[in-house]
Every structure is written in structure tokens, then in C-alpha cells.
Homo-oligomer: A and B are copies of this chain.
Amino acid sequence: MNGAGLGAAHTSSGAAILDVIRAAGTISRVELTRVTGLTAATVSTVVRRLIDDGLVVEAGRAESTGGKPRMLLQLEPTARYAVGVHLDHAGITYVVANLGGAVVARWRRPGAGADDPRDVVARIAAEIATTVDRIGVDPARLVGVGVVSPGPIASGTGMTLTPPVMQHWADFPLAEAIEDAVGLPVLLDNDATAAAVGEYWSGGIGTGTACAALYMGTGIGAGIVVDGTVFRGRSSNAGEVGHVCVDLDGPRCWCGGRGCVEAFAGPAAVVAHAAQVGLTLPGRTVSEDFATLARAAARGDAAPMAILRESAEYVAVAAHTLANLLDLDTVVLTGPAFALAGSLYLPVVQERLAAGFFARGAHAVHVRISAHASEAAAVGGAALVLQSELAPRQQGMRVVLGESGAVPVAGSGVA
């Protein structure tokens, strides 16, 4: 595989026009001229190239409003595909998504565990090749692979903030290794940011919104997308809402803080709380025990319900803090924990924001559960690739994990 790229879309006017067509659904050349501010001649030339490259098709004429009806253009969703890979020690989730934002394949395999990173990369390359072949996607239409890996990534220093269970990955050139093995460009990002881009790309949030994807996996984090642009901060570590203090006298957190949201509300805290009150949880992992608790709460068992309710109160504070600091109008609950128990968390978060969001006199904050909560990070990985091809300002970080002199800090904020 060699990476199709987007052909004509690789000029800035091409990318801009393609993004407008994608957002509009269908649109005429005349409207494109108006919306983009480009000349009619440029629009005509670029659209011709996009059609030649198969990225755009003519979709029939608009209803006439007097005069000759205008030919409408639309994206050809099957023209390009990207692969998203969510790499975690407990499991690897894969998706294949097309240019239209639809997920055409999703599957899950055992995680990286303690395996040698080179073996894991070889498995990933084999998985992608096999599935792309099986579902009949032309490899020439694949744009790249978005890998969502544990850790924020320190793009400036090449240093990674790797969770303890994946310390042996800290010095591994992940992007480079997967690029070599798969033969496609690779982008890396963290789970919460990827999930936010995935929501935007798959139409879950509109272009004019200020949105945070509140991601709960092992920990709690947030990805922020405002007006279609990812907010990354100085070093792409924005959104670390799991490490916001909600109790100055709270317990010491591994991050160096005290009384962090994650320590009260994260899955590990929920499971520990359940053990404290004497509930029997037979799982081998926090994820399995959290799932057991979520199922019991959904059945109406009082003790698990109370424990998850308490976690939800803290998650609601996290959402409230995000909304007040970023002036959000949308919060999307996503990630595996909300895929399991989102319906228990949703009303608590909604209630808190309705009553307490600071600028509620100006607008409400809408809260909902992602349509892709269980595989949001992998969907986001694919979206990062497609988005970076179309709108370069959105691009993920093309860095190599811990390339040199990596000095991992204890643990990670990965959600």
C-alpha cells in the first residue's frame, strides 16, 4: 500500500472546497464561489480536478428558482478511506472509515500487553492488510493510519508521558515503525483528542459549536473542538480534566496533584469503592469489574447505582469546569466507560449544567452520549487522517514517540 492521498484536494483551495462540500452535503458551484470567496474560474478548475480524482460527483440539478437549475455537487464517500487504531495494553481496536465519515469496519483484538513493540506492530500491519482485503476496499484508496496510543505525547521534546504498564514503549518509534510495516502515512494522537475529532468528522457536532468530548476509559480526559478546530494548547496536552482538583484536602494523585477528579470518579476509583463496601467483583481487570458494576446498576441494584451516582457527580463537576472555562455549548460523553454506563451519568451531568453553567443566560450546554462511545478513539484515529488531508489546521501530530532521550514521568493522563 502506498497511500492514495487526496490528489486535487492537496492544494489549499482544493482542501477548502472539499471541506465545504462535505459540510454542505450538496452544493452548487455558484454557492461554492460565494462561500469560499474564491473566483468562479478557480472554483470551476478545482471542482473539475476533484471530479477527475473521483472525490466529488455531480448529484443532479437543484430545483429551479427561475433560470437554469444549478448542478449540485457532493462528496463521493467511498473515494478514500482511513484506518484508525486504538492501541492499548488491554486491547487493540481497529476501524476503517470512509471520506463521508461512515465506519465500514470495526474489530477488536488482544492488546499490546507485555509484548515486544515490534511484534505488536507486525500484528497491526497484518490485521489491517487482512481486513482491507476482506471488506473489498481498494488499497489505492487508503489515505493513512491514525494511531491513538496511551499518553499525551510531548511533540516538542519527543518525550512521552507513558503509563506504567507500557513503559517499554517509551523509546519506541511507533509512527515510523507502523509507517514502515503498513506502507501508509501515520498520525499519532491521544484518545480524548482523537475522540473529539471523530465526533466532529462523523457529524456528531456542527461546525459552529464549542464542544468537548469527555472521554472515560482507564482515566478521564477531554478533547476540545471549537468552530471545527482542535484546541491543543502549548504542547497538545490540553483537556486534562481528570487532573482538576475538586478537594484541596483530597488524596495525593500520581500526577503530583491532590484531590483530582479522576481519583474520585474514574473506573479504578469506582471499582475500589465497590470493593470497600463489600461488593464481590470477580473480574481480572478494572474494565471488567466496571462493566459488571454498570450492568448491576442498569438492573437497578441499589449499591452499584449509588457508587456510580457518586462517580457521576464528579464527572458532572468535570463537565461543568470544562464548560465554564471554555464556554462550551456541547459536551459529548464518550469512551468505553460511557459506552457501558453513559445512561446513568447523562442525567446527572445534564442537571448540573442546566442549573450551574455560568453563561446559561446566553446559551445552554447540550450533553449527550456519543454514537461511537465504545470505539471513539479508533474512529477518531481514522478521522484525524481524513481531516488532516482536508483541513491541514486539524492535523494530528506526526511525531515519533519518545524518539530520543525520553524521560517518562510517572504514569499518564491517558483516559
Q: Are B361 and A327 in contact (CB under 8 A)?
A: no
Which residue, of A161, A235, A238, has the highest number of chain B Cβ atoms within 10 A?
A: A238
- Alpha-carbon distance A415/B322, docked complex (angstroms): 19
At the interface with chain B, which of A132-140, A280-288, A351-359, A384-392?
A351-359
Which residue, of A154, A226, A326, A407, has the highest number of chain B Cβ atoms within 10 A?
A: A326
Kindly list chain B residues whose C-beta atoms are within 8 Å of the C-beta of A256: 355-358, 360
Q: Are B209 and A243 in contact (CB under 8 A)?
A: no
Q: Are A240 and B324 in contact (CB under 8 A)?
A: yes
A210 interface residue, CB < 8 Å from B?
yes
Q: Are B234 and A329 in contact (CB under 8 A)?
A: yes
Q: Are B248 and A313 in contact (CB under 8 A)?
A: yes
Q: Are A241 and B325 in contact (CB under 8 A)?
A: yes
Kindly list chain B residues whose C-beta atoms are within 8 Å of the C-beta of A222: 325
A248-B246, A248-B247 known; A325 and B240 CB under 8 Å?
A: yes
Q: Are B238 and A327 in contact (CB under 8 A)?
A: yes
A157 interface residue, CB < 8 Å from B?
yes
Q: Are A255 and B362 in contact (CB under 8 A)?
A: no
- Nearest-CB distance from A401 to chain B (Å)? 13
A contact residues vs B (CB 8 Å cutoff): 152, 154-157, 159, 161, 209-210, 222, 226, 231-241, 243-248, 255-258, 313-314, 317, 320-322, 324-329, 355-363, 407-409, 413
